[in-house]
Structures are given as structure tokens and as C-alpha cells.
């Protein structure tokens, strides 16, 4: 009884959802739905995909060029856990613009070709769109409907099965619909494989009038874009039923002596949902040899013997294949240029006219065409004579490797987890891998492209400095304040420098796939109980030895750029900096609040000095000049060598003023505004207390070994407090904390 009740509850819920989702409608019900929301029901595939991107919203995110719009559909929240697209906001905006062009033109007249190096997230990008389409199609505002036909059994309408009545009877009233008949009352149900739009049942002339009337009633103009925001596509305005539906419609109209309303009784409108698994509204075509659409005759099929007599003499064909399955949605040609040219030459006409000729008829389709290709195949394709014909029918969108290591790290963090690798993932393991990957992709700036006064500055930017400039907007500490400002100003120009070059920055280097393999290999190292940065560094060193496998390793070293073995040592230094800082902080020798108080006091003196004002002495209460001694003492620690104190102080106040203008409501966050200042303060303090620091780290190692008993109770308590902070604040465990501190002691405090 419990099982029966459980199944009854499920059945009730499924039935309620079916009714709520309006899964089956008569044509009259659909027309009511259309008049209620004509915009949603008159969208073509490009408008639908653009609405998918709009539906999830946008956000402004940091970017080397400032800020940039990111479409949240590529975050795929709750849709596909591993499908998030890290970065690639330029590609997102390029796609959105192209869809906008299709909408304004009224037709999808080009193929979008995503091109870039292998493993640059082209497929992930398209998969995120597909996941968004799937989720959106399940929402009320994303509902999609298709045309279908239903024929009642002879038991319901004796004799003619609804054909040839000469006068209305209770069973054959003009308002009667067969769309909601029970299954036992139906002989044949024939859905449309092309998912024809329900409005195609309305003849084109009358359909245009109906569309314009419905749009005007909702304040959307007449659909031409001039009198409203909405633009009717050629497909919705002028499209026609597929071959099979047209034959059925004509046969019914003949049988009913031209009575259109009686024909509509056989129309059943069905809601359909975009599905990658079942290839509904979205399909991926792999680089195969088979044709993308075929047709088969169905009237010879025994399952169709129950068709009404009026259709017995009608030859019906059903189209099949990826092009058909993707209609009303999006088709992806993965690695398109790996296919022989003859296998996709039909795209020349299809991309421009949305039509594909088959033997018995011409397919009329409505789908967004997206393809992907790597740079080598695209380069070879451009050399072919046929490229001139394709050029005007293709929109090229570049998808380079990421050059922002924090975004690169997001890719690995999503897939390299304790569950996937079977052990704890230590802090910085994926970060080290991401930094190395980005360093392999960077190109040396070309000084000749810049003004004479900054040529030398640009020429001396190292790969590591360029990486941090892109990711955090940080300029190297070695520069003067003026040069720091200048280099930060050049950040956008440096980032976009090679965009017009065939060999652009981000075209070559380690791919995310290769790095993920290295991370999984590092996780299997028997030398470490965690997946930690030390195992990752060993894997990166191993990669550098295999130049015959990795093409990017064969690049010529140019002023430290493309020196991939040296990059391993560079990211090792970055890792040591982080571990050193985290251990110091965990020891709690000096709190962050103390640094903040020191900086705030110094900036108060500087502010009054710049304005030429006196300030109140906190001890005597008298109005005194700013304390030059205090400022000079602080500047000996935090100011770059060779900097003029006056210029340095004025620069600090300018930075504070600029921050206030950009963030008028926010409180002053000095560690964020002056990260270099705080770093120099910490380094100075710990340099002075290096002996104490070394002793404390040695105590940690003793505590984690068999020598714990040699420590006093007080020392053990200090170590336990430090380890607890490392675990709680930074995500270490005892094993990876010990490995990290041992490595740090060996490299920095030996």
C-alpha cells in the first residue's frame, strides 16, 4: 500500500506539471496564448538564443582593459556544475553582437566560427549556451511549441473519420478539437520532425496581418523595428510548413472541401524542450563523413496503415539528421575544418538562405550555426580557393587561451577536487599550475609600438610582471611611483597589442587540458599525502623535458619570454611568498590592524603636509606641523629607492582622491589601495625578526614530528594555535602544512 500511495503522489505531481506547463494545446488555445504574449511566440532561433543570454542577466567584472560585461549564462548556475566558462568575456560579447545583427537583419545569414588553439574552451563555451537553452526552455517564458497532427478513430466518428461531413453534428461541431482526445480515441498521431512553428498553419498573408495586429496591441510596433523594439524574422513572417505537414494540410483541406476550421480540429500543438541528450533543438556534429540530413518515406511503413483514406494516396516523407534535430535552436559543428570540404560545402547556401535542397524537397530551417576550428586548420582553409566563397558567409570569433591566471585557476578548481583526485587538495596547488600555464602564453611586448618616453619601460617588463599586471593591475616594486602609474596606464595597450597579429598572444602555450592532466598526475605522487604545489612543480618540470610532445616548448626564448623551465622556478618563488606570508600571519606576531593603524597615521601626516596645514598633536593637544621625522622613518621602509619624498607623498594623496571618486560610498580600504606599501611593511618587520620566525617554524616541524616532547607546553600551544589558523583560514591539513613549511625552511631559512 505504501508503494501504491507513493506512486499515486508522483502521478498526481506529473499530471499537475503537465497541465501547468500547457504541454498539449488545440490550435485555438495556442492562438490565445500567442495573442497574450506575441513577442515570446514570434521569436526565431537567433532571438530565442539572445533572450537566453539576457534571461540570466549580466555583471561587470574586472578585466585587463578595465571592466567588461559578463553574461551569467556562462556561469551556468544550477545547470551544469563543471560547465562554467572561466573568462572569455570578449567572446561572449562578440557572440551577443552577432546575434543582434541576425535579429536586426531578420534572418540568420552567417555561420559563427569560433577559432583558437586546442583547449581554449570553444566547446565549453557552446556547451554553456546549450545548458542555458535547456534550462530556459523549461521556464514559462522560454516555452517552445511545435505543430502536430492527430486523427481520431473510426469509433469516435464512424465511417469517414472526420472527413466529408456535409453538416455540423454534435460530434463534428466546428469548434470541436481532436487535440485533447484520449489515447484510445486516436488512431494516428503525427508530430512534425522539423518542429514547424504552429503559426505556419495560418496562410502567410493572413499570418502577417495577425502578427502585426498582436504586436501593435502589445505596443511592440509592427515588427519592422522602425515602430517598435521587436523585429519579425523572415522565418516567422514568411515561413511555410515542411513537406509532410503541407501534404497533410492540403489533403485535409481537399477532404473537407476547403473548410479551414475543420482542418484545424486535427492540429495538435505540443510543447517541446531543448535537450542535448535527446537532440531536441540543439545538436553537435562531430567531424564525420556522413551527411547531416536524410529523408525517408513513411507511407510504406506498416505503422501508418491507420491513416485516414484521404491520406492513403499521399506520399509522405520525413527528414532526419542533425540539421533537422537542431531546427528552432542551435547546431554546433565541432572541429568543422577537420571534415573534407565537400562534406560541408552545402553550408555556403545554407548559411545564407537557411535552406538545404534534398531530393524530394527543400528544407527550410531556423537555427543558429556555430562551428569551431583550431588555428592550424583555419590557416590551411584560408589557403584554399574556396575560402573566398566562404569568407562572406562566416563570422570569425577568436577564442584565445586565458591570460589571467586567477581565471585560469577557476578552471582547475572546478574539476580538481578532493573527490576527483581522491585526496586533500592543498592550498596553491592549482594556483601554481595556473600561473605557469599563463606564463607560457605571454609574448614579449614590442617597444616600437609605444611612445618614445615609455619604450624602455615596456621593454623591461618581465613575463612574471606582465602576468601580475594583467591579473591584479600590479606594477613591479622596482619601479618609481611615476613609472608604476605609467605602466598601469599602459595595461590595456599591452593586453590588446597583438590582437591584430596572426600569431597573437594567447595563441600558443600550455592548454588547460594539458595542465589538468599534469594535476591529476601530481595527485598520484607517492611522495605526498595531499595534492600539493610541490608535486605540481615536479610535474611541470617533467613537462619541460618533453619538447617532442609539446609544441609550445620549441619556441625561441626572447628576453626571458618562452623560457618555460625558468617559469617553473618563477612560480616556485610565488608559491614560497604565499606560504611565507600565511605562516607569518598564522603565527600572529603582528596583526593586520596594527599595520593599518601605522599606515593611517602616516597618511594623516602626509595629507596635512600636502595641504600645508598644521595638525593637532595627539599628546599635547597643540597644533603642530606634520612630523617630518615620523614620515621619513616610514618612507625609508615603504618608498621605492630613488623616489623623491615630496612627489611620493603627493602621489599617495592623488591615489586616495581617485579611489574616492570611483568609490564615493565605500570606506577607505588602504590594504587594497596600497598593497605594495603593506607588503613592504610586513617584509621589513619580519626581516627584523627573522631569527624568531625561524625558531617558530622549527617548532612547528618538531611538533609535527617525533620531537614534539622536546617542546615546552607554551611552545606547543603556540604551534597548535598557528596550525589551527593555517587549517581554518588557509585550508591546510597537517600533512600539507608540514610539506610547505619544510620546503619554505629549506629554500628561505636554511
pLDDT tens digit sequence for 186-198: 888 889 989 999 9
Strands 294-297 and 317-320, sheet pairing: antiparallel
> Regarding predicted confidence, which is higher, 309 or 640?
640
The candidate with the shortest Cα–Cα distance to 290, out of 343, 347, 359, is 343
Instruction: Please compute the mean of the pLDDT values over residues 568-572 and round it to a whole number.
Output: 95
pLDDT at 653 over 60: yes
Which grid coordinates are listed for 433?
599550475
> Regarding predicted confidence, which is higher, 581 or 305?
581
CATH class of segment(s) 18-399: alpha beta
Strands 615-616 and 144-152, sheet pairing: unpaired
> Regarding predicted confidence, which is higher, 287 or 541?
541
Confidence of residue 14 (pLDDT cuts 50, 70, 90): low
Could you give the CA distance from residue 220 to residue 231 in angstroms, rounded to a whole number? Answer: 9
Distance between the two ends of the chain, CA-based, in angstroms? 74
pLDDT value of residue 626? 85
- 748: helix, strand or coil: helix
User: Apex CA 14: angle with CA 9 and CA 20, to 5°?
Assistant: 125
Give domain limits for the chain.
Answer: 18-399, 405-588, 590-667
Strands 111-116 and 144-152, sheet pairing: unpaired
Highest mean pLDDT among 173-182, 307-316, 633-642: 633-642
pLDDT value of residue 519? 94
Helix (H) / strand (E) element for 74: namely: none
pLDDT tens digit sequence for 506-534: 999 999 999 999 999 999 999 999 999 99
Across all residues in the chain, what is the average pLDDT? 85
Could you give the CA distance from residue 722 to residue 313 in angstroms, rounded to a whole number? Answer: 87
Question: Are 321 and 294 a contacting pair, CB within 8 Å?
Answer: yes
Burial class (CB in 10 A: 0-12, 13-18, 19+), 580: buried
pLDDT at 315 over 80: no
Which residues are CB-neighbours of 745 under 8 A, at least 6 positions away? 694, 697, 698, 701
- 61: helix, strand or coil: strand
pLDDT tens digit sequence for 708-732: 778 888 888 888 888 888 899 999 9
Rounded percentage of the chain residues whose pLDDT exceeds 70: 89
pLDDT value of residue 649? 87
pLDDT at 304 over 80: no
Burial class (CB in 10 A: 0-12, 13-18, 19+), 453: exposed
Strands 355-357 and 362-364, sheet pairing: antiparallel
pLDDT tens digit sequence for 582-607: 888 888 766 667 778 888 888 888 88
Could you give the CA distance from residue 369 to residue 354 in angstroms, rounded to a whole number? Answer: 10
Instruction: Please compute the mean of the pLDDT values over residues 301-307 and round it to a whole number.
Output: 58
pLDDT at 390 over 60: yes
DSSP-derived letter for residue 344 is S
pLDDT value of residue 170? 41
pLDDT value of residue 547? 83
Could you give the CA distance from residue 517 to residue 546 in angstroms, rounded to a whole number? Answer: 14
pLDDT at 618 over 90: no
pLDDT tens digit sequence for 672-702: 788 888 888 877 877 766 677 777 778 887 8
- List, in sequence order, every residue forming a beta bridge with 516; answer none if it has no partner: none
pLDDT value of residue 166? 39
Amino acid at each position: 500500500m505504501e508503494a501504491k500511495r507513493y506512486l499515486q503522489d508522483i502521478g498526481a505531481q506529473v499530471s499537475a506539471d503537465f497541465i501547468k506547463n500547457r504541454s498539449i494545446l488545440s490550435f485555438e488555445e495556442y492562438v490565445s496564448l500567442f495573442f497574450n504574449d506575441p513577442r515570446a511566440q514570434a521569436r526565431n532561433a537567433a532571438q530565442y538564443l539572445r533572450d537566453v543570454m539576457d534571461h540570466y542577466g549580466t555583471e561587470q567584472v574586472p578585466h585587463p582593459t578595465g571592466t567588461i560585461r559578463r553574461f551569467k549564462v556562462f556561469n551556468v548556475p544550477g545547470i551544469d556544475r563543471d560547465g562554467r566558462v572561466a573568462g572569455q568575456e570578449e567572446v561572449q560579447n562578440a557572440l551577443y553582437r552577432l546575434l543582434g545583427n541576425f535579429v536586426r537583419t531578420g534572418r540568420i545569414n552567417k555561420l559563427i566560427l569560433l577559432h583558437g588553439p586546442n583547449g581554449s574552451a570553444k566547446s565549453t563555451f557552446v556547451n554553456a549556451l546549450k545548458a542555458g537553452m535547456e534550462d530556459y526552455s523549461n521556464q514559462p517564458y522560454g516555452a517552445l511549441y511545435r505543430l502536430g497532427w492527430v486523427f481520431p478513430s473510426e469509433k469516435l466518428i464512424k465511417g469517414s473519420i472526420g472527413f466529408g461531413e456535409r453538416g455540423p453534428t454534435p460530434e463534428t461541431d466546428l469548434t470541436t478539437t481532436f487535440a485533447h482526445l484520449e489515447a484510445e480515441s486516436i488512431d494516428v498521431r503525427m508530430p512534425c520532425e522539423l518542429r514547424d512553428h504552429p503559426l505556419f498553419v495560418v496562410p502567410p498573408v493572413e499570418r502577417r496581418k495577425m502578427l502585426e495586429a498582436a504586436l501593435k496591441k502589445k505596443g511592440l510596433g509592427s515588427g519592422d523595428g522602425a515602430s517598435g523594439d521587436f523585429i519579425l524574422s523572415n522565418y516567422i513572417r514568411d515561413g511555410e510548413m515542411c513537406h509532410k505537414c503541407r501534404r497533410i494540410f492540403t489533403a485535409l483541406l481537399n477532404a473537407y472541401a476547403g473548410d479551414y476550421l475543420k482542418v484545424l480540429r486535427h492540429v495538435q500543438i505540443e510543447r517541446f524542450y531543448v535537450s542535448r541528450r535527446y537532440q531536441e533543438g540543439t545538436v553537435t556534429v562531430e567531424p564525420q563523413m556522413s551527411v547531416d540530413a536524410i529523408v525517408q518515406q513513411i507511407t510504406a511503413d506498416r505503422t501508418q496503415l491507420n491513416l485516414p483514406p484521404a491520406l492513403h494516396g499521399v506520399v509522405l516523407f520525413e527528414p532526419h539528421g542533425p540539421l533537422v534535430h537542431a531546427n528552432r535552436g542551435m547546431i554546433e559543428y565541432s572541429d568543422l575544418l577537420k571534415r573534407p570540404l565537400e562534406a560541408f560545402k552545402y553550408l555556403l547556401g545554407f548559411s545564407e538562405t537557411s535552406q538545404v535542397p534534398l531530393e524530394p524537397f527543400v528544407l527550410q530551417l531556423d537555427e543558429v550555426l556555430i562551428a569551431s576550428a583550431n588555428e592550424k586548420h583555419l590557416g590551411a582553409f584560408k589557403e584554399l580557393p574556396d575560402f573566398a566563397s566562404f569568407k562572406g558567409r562566416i563570422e570569425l570569433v577568436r577564442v584565445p587561451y586565458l591570460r589571467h591566471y586567477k581565471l585560469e585557476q577557476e578552471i582547475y578548481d572546478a574539476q580538481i577536487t578532493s573527490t576527483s583526485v581522491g585526496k586533500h587538495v592543498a592550498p596553491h596547488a592549482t594556483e601554481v599550475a595556473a600561473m605557469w600555464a599563463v606564463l607560457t602564453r605571454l609574448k614579449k611586448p614590442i617597444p616600437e609600438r609605444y611612445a618614445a618616453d615609455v619604450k624602455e619601460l615596456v621593454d623591461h617588463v618581465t613575463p612574471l610582471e606582465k602576468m601580475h599586471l594583467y591579473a591584479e593591475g600590479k606594477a613591479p616594486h622596482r619601479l618609481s611611483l611615476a613609472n608604476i602609474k605609467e605602466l598601469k596606464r599602459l595595461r590595456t595597450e599591452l593586453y590588446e597589442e597583438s590582437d591584430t597579429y596572426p600569431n597573437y598572444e594567447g595563441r600558443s602555450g600550455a592548454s588547460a587540458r594539458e595542465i589538468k592532466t599534469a594535476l591529476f598526475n601530481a595527485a598520484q605522487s607517492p611522495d605526498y599525502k595531499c595534492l600539493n604545489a610541490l608535486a605540481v612543480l615536479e610535474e611541470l618540470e617533467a613537462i619541460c623535458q618533453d619538447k617532442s610532445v609539446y609544441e609550445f616548448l620549441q619556441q625561441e626564448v626572447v628576453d626571458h619570454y618562452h623560457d618555460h623551465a625558468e617559469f617553473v622556478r618563477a612560480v616556485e618563488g610565488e608559491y614560497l611568498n604565499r606560504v611565507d606570508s600565511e605562516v607569518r600571519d598564522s603565527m600572529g606576531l603582528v596583526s593586520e590592524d596594527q599595520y593599518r593603524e601605522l599606515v593611517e597615521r602616516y597618511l594623516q601626516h602626509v595629507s596635512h603636509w600636502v595641504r600645508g596645514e598644521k595638525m593637532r598633536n595627539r599628546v599635547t593637544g597643540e597644533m603642530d606641523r606634520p612630523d617630518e621625522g615620523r614620515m621619513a622613518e616610514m618612507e625609508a621602509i615603504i618608498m621605492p629607492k630613488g623616489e623623491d619624498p615630496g612627489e611620493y607623498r603627493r602621489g599617495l594623496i592623488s591615489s586616495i582622491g581617485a579611489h574616492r571618486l570611483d568609490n564615493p560610498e565605500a570606506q577607505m580600504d588602504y590594504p587594497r589601495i596600497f598593497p605594495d606599501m603593506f607588503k613592504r611593511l610586513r617584509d621589513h618587520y619580519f626581516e627584523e625578526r627573522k631569527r624568531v620566525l625561524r625558531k617558530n617554524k622549527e617548532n612547528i616541524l618538531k611538533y609535527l614530528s617525533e620531537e614534539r616532547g622536546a617542546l615546552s607546553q607554551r611552545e606547543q600551544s603556540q604551534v597548535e594555535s598557528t596550525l589551527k589558523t593555517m587549517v581554518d583560514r588557509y585550508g591546510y591539513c597537517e600533512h600539507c602544512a608540514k610539506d610547505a613549511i619544510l620546503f619554505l625552511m629549506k629554500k628561505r631559512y636554511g
